Copies of this chain bind each other. A is one copy, B any other.
């Protein structure tokens, strides 16, 4: 392992000059610069990251918190975040909280121990007051998930609007008995969608029926379960809003297996616009989320915060959502509403 000292010796220069060449400092003669570069090449020298991190108080690593990566929404978020981070010269450490507040808090120590320069929270498992103290060690940026109490930059999507347009679409198809699915009680994303859902209902003079609410639907299997629960109700819904395409796909799958027809017997709208929405039969009406833009913005922001060292600024960046109409809500026998 060649060190900067080895390069200095070989060239007969000082460590400082070598360091200047490494960091592209001015005031190094072209002659010596070439000499150094050659020596580095010859020795296979590369600066040691740990030493640089210690000296510069900077690791060039970001941590991204997600519940689980096998959720396609988060896969896409990780993909985009990793690419954006790389563009800024940052590496990305993945932290899967698996919906556990303890694991989340534990991973937060990465910031405290200075193993990462900043944390991007794409999901939140603790109360903000639990997380807030970590702000003294480095920047935290919320991306996707949010918390009104959090005095940090937040990049998010207009989930109220998302819940609204999806529900309104169902209402426009003539449905009045619409069930509601979401993933988790704790998530503000889910809560916002529910607000949008209710808002749409209210516009049609309908009230929210708690018997139609299923707030613990995350996976495909949950969708299948929810379908059976819905069909067991005395006054069955004719449409269902879900918080993810996975759940929607599960509902559709179970419905078909039970001999029901989609959307004739049950209209289904998903969320996320994942690849499966075009593979199931029928294809799934859903809400598209601009994940790439959101991730890019979150990285841009955190990189800026790392530089300015001002962490407790509440800035909100919101991106719009878009309804994508497919076959799970509009059959040929029904009137259509949107292109």
A residues neighboring B (CB under 8 Å)? 1, 46-51, 53-54, 57, 59, 61, 68-70, 72, 75-76, 78-79, 82-83, 91-94, 96, 109-110, 112-115, 137, 220, 246, 249-250, 252-253, 256, 275-276, 278-281
Contacts and interface: CB of A to CB of B under 8 A. Distances in A.
A75 B74 CA distance: 10
A70 B72 contact: yes
A75 B1 CA distance: 35
B96 A93 contact: no
Q: What is the oligomeric copy number?
A: 2
Given A46-B109, A61-B93, A280 B281 contact: yes
A79 B83 contact: no
Given A75-B75, A91-B93, A220-B278, 18 more contacts: A1-B137, A46-B109, A46-B112, A48-B54, A49-B114, A49-B115, A50-B59, A51-B54, A53-B54, A69-B78, A82-B94, A92-B93, A92-B94, A94-B94, A253-B278, A253-B279, A276-B279, A280-B280
A253 to B, nearest CB: 5
Contacts of A47: 113
B54 A50 contact: yes
Given A78-B94, A94-B78, A253-B279, A113 B46 contact: yes
B96 A82 contact: yes
A109 to B, nearest CB: 7
Nearest to A51: B54
A83 B70 contact: no
Contacts of A275: 220, 246
29 contacts: A1-B137, A46-B112, A46-B113, A48-B114, A49-B114, A50-B53, A50-B57, A50-B114, A53-B53, A61-B115, A69-B75, A69-B78, A69-B79, A70-B75, A70-B76, A78-B94, A82-B96, A91-B115, A92-B93, A92-B94, A93-B93, A220-B275, A249-B279, A250-B279, A253-B281, A276-B279, A279-B280, A280-B280, A280-B281
